[in-house]
């Protein structure tokens, strides 16, 4: 049977990895500054992560989602404490799209409305409702267009107010740092205005922290740079360091009831062990702080490169904007410099999303490789 070929792949086959280093089947070493779209948060095969997952595998000979799994509460407690979001409740699922799907569903149930406000260049995943909440034409093909979406532009106060005043929206969904789109961010006054208008109009504010959350921006959640409190926060990617897991943090003002949401695999033992290991390493190694500090170092280094026209993002969610399309630069970085980076919907942006425990020395290696390739 052939694989259904829906996205291009680089011709590299990793067989082992440690930290930011990846070794392929020919013994060639690569440096991974992309982490599979911001998934690798604590580094490949971190010893604590591997140990915790192995122990969990050894200890589990059954699977059931209808009996007690104490790891879920342990995870919720730890997440609440580390994120500062103690006044939220946690629902676990398996991916970012699923997290957003659940978030939009909850917003719709809560308000008994279905229209959604999203933002241009946003990306919220590939399921029916979450796909609808993106303006990316290549993926904007919802199977089930229950959720009519209005796309606005960041920092357009008038358009936001006009739309929300219509009174038929259940939710505003946004990334406080856009990932796939290319690292655009709304301003703090705009985000605070969105939060205030949502509150006044009974509209649910959903922060999609699937990519920018879990320490990546230099704070636990990227919205925390702007002093707003979303009603629902969706999480995935870095939370599992490669193990497929997602979740929604739901403000305590939302009432839970049996049957409201459901899942077969969400919150399974291995997924919980993976997330707990990530949180433990983040705490022990002070990784959110490292992301903040190394983000500043990145800015200084990037300023030294004349070809870089703009530096986008914050913490370790970063992009370099050039006045040319970066597809071949990215390819050459892999083939010639043995370095993984990312592209974006904005074709001029090269994305840099390393593990949060990257060192200055490793960052220097990235800039040496970039300079060599640009010269
Ligand atoms: N939300 C954001 C901000 C994302 O970047 C992504 C994936 O890139 C998703 C949601 C979808 O996540 P997943 O691919 O785990 O479904």
List the CATH code of the domain at 48-284: 3.40.640.10
Cα 116 to chain centroid, rounded: 20
At residue 144, the pLDDT reads: 47
Cβ-contact 65, 264 below 8 angstroms? yes
Q: Which residues contact 362 (CB under 8 A, 6 or more apart)?
A: 20, 31, 354
Q: What six digits make up the tokens of 372?
A: 């060599």
| Separation between Cα atoms, residue 74 and residue 56, nearest integer Å | 14
- 232, burial (CB in 10 Å: exposed 0-12, middle 13-18, buried 19+): buried
Residue recorded with tokens 């796909």? 131
Cβ-contact 20, 360 below 8 angstroms? no
What's the CA-to-centroid distance between 251 and ligand 1, angstroms? Answer: 21
At residue 337, the pLDDT reads: 98
Tally of CB atoms within 10 A around 295: 21
Report how far apart the first and last C-alpha atoms of the chain are (Å, whole number): 44
Summary count for the chain: helices (H), strands (E)? 11, 14
The phi, psi pair for 97, rounded to 5°, reads -60, -40
Q: Does domain 14-46+286-374 have CATH number 1.10.10.10?
A: no
Q: Which atom of ligand 1 lies nearest, measured to the CA of 236?
A: 15
| Separation between Cα atoms, residue 283 and residue 137, nearest integer Å | 40
| Ligand 1 near 100 CB (within 6 A) | yes
At residue 61, the pLDDT reads: 55
Cβ-contact 233, 249 below 8 angstroms? yes
What's the CA-to-centroid distance between 214 and ligand 1, angstroms? Answer: 14
At residue 139, the pLDDT reads: 55
| Separation between Cα atoms, residue 247 and residue 245, nearest integer Å | 7
Cβ-contact 39, 51 below 8 angstroms? no
Beta-strand pair 246-251/310-314: unpaired
| Ligand 1 near 95 CB (within 6 A) | yes
| Ligand 1 near 176 CB (within 6 A) | no
| Ligand 1 near 127 CB (within 6 A) | no
| Ligand 1 near 122 CB (within 6 A) | no
| Separation between Cα atoms, residue 184 and residue 124, nearest integer Å | 15
At residue 68, the pLDDT reads: 87
At residue 194, the pLDDT reads: 98
What's the CA-to-centroid distance between 181 and ligand 1, angstroms? Answer: 11
pLDDT digit of tens for each residue in the chain (375 aa)?
999 998 888 899 999 999 999 999 999 999 999 999 999 999 999 999 999 999 998 877 556 677 889 999 999 999 999 999 999 999 999 999 999 999 999 999 999 998 999 999 999 998 877 777 777 756 544 444 556 899 999 999 999 999 999 999 999 999 999 999 999 999 999 999 999 999 999 999 999 999 999 999 999 999 999 999 999 999 999 999 999 999 999 999 999 999 999 999 999 999 999 999 999 999 999 999 999 999 999 999 999 999 999 999 999 999 999 999 999 999 999 999 999 999 999 999 999 999 999 999 999 999 999 999 999
| Separation between Cα atoms, residue 281 and residue 43, nearest integer Å | 10
Give the residue whose CA is nearest to atom 7 of ligand 1.
125
Cα 198 to chain centroid, rounded: 23
Tally of CB atoms within 10 A around 36: 13
| Ligand 1 near 287 CB (within 6 A) | no
List the beta strands (DSSP E) in 2-81. 14-18, 21-24, 29-32
Could you state, in order of their start, the residue ranges of all structural domains in the chain?
14-46+286-374, 48-284
Fold matches, 14-46+286-374 and 48-284:
no
SS3 of residue 156 by DSSP: coil
What's the CA-to-centroid distance between 180 and ligand 1, angstroms? Answer: 8
At residue 140, the pLDDT reads: 47
| Separation between Cα atoms, residue 165 and residue 163, nearest integer Å | 5
What's the CA-to-centroid distance between 208 and ligand 1, angstroms? Answer: 9
If you ran DSSP here, which 8-state letter would residue 224 be given? Answer: G
């Amino acid at each position: 049977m052939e694989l259904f070929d829906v996205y291009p792949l680089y011709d590299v086959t990793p067989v082992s990895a440690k930290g930011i280093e990846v070794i392929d089947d020919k013994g060639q070493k690569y440096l991974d500054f992309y982490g599979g779209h911001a998934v690798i948060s604590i580094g490949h095969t971190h010893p604590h992560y591997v140990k915790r997952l192995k122990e969990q595998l050894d200890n589990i000979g059954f699977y059931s989602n209808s009996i007690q799994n104490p790891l879920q509460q342990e995870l919720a407690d730890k997440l609440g404490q580390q994120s500062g979001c103690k006044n939220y409740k946690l629902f676990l699922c398996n991916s970012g799209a699923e997290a957003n799907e659940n978030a939009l569903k909850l917003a719709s149930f809560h308000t008994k409305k279905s229209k959604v406000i999203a933002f241009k260049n946003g990306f919220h995943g590939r399921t029916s409702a979450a796909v609808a909440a993106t303006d990316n034409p290549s993926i904007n093909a919802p199977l089930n267009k229950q959720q009519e979406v209005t796309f606005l532009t960041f920092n357009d106060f008038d358009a936001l107010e006009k739309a929300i005043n219509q009174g038929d929206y259940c939710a505003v969904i946004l990334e406080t740092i856009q990932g796939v789109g290319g690292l655009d961010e709304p301003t703090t006054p705009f985000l605070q205005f969105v939060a205030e208008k949502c509150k006044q109009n009974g509209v649910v504010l959903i922060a999609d922290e699937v990519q920018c959350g879990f320490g990546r921006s230099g704070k636990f959640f990227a919205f925390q740079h702007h002093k707003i409190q979303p009603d629902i926060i969706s999480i995935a990617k870095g939370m599992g360091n490669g193990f497929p897991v997602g979740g929604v943090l739901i403000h305590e003002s939302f009432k839970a009831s049996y049957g409201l949401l459901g899942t077969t695999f969400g919150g399974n033992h291995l997924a919980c062990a993976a997330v707990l290991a990530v949180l433990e390493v983040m705490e022990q190694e002070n990784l959110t702080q490292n992301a903040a500090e190394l983000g500043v170092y990145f800015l200084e280094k990037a300023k030294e490169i004349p070809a870089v026209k703009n530096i986008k993002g914050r913490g370790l969610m970063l992009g370099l904007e050039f006045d040319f399309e970066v597809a071949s630069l990215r390819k050459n970085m892999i083939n010639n410099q043995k370095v993984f980076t990312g592209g974006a919907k904005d074709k001029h942006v090269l994305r840099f999303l390393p593990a949060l425990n990257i060192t200055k020395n490793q960052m220097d290696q990235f800039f040496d490789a970039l300079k060599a390739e640009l010269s």
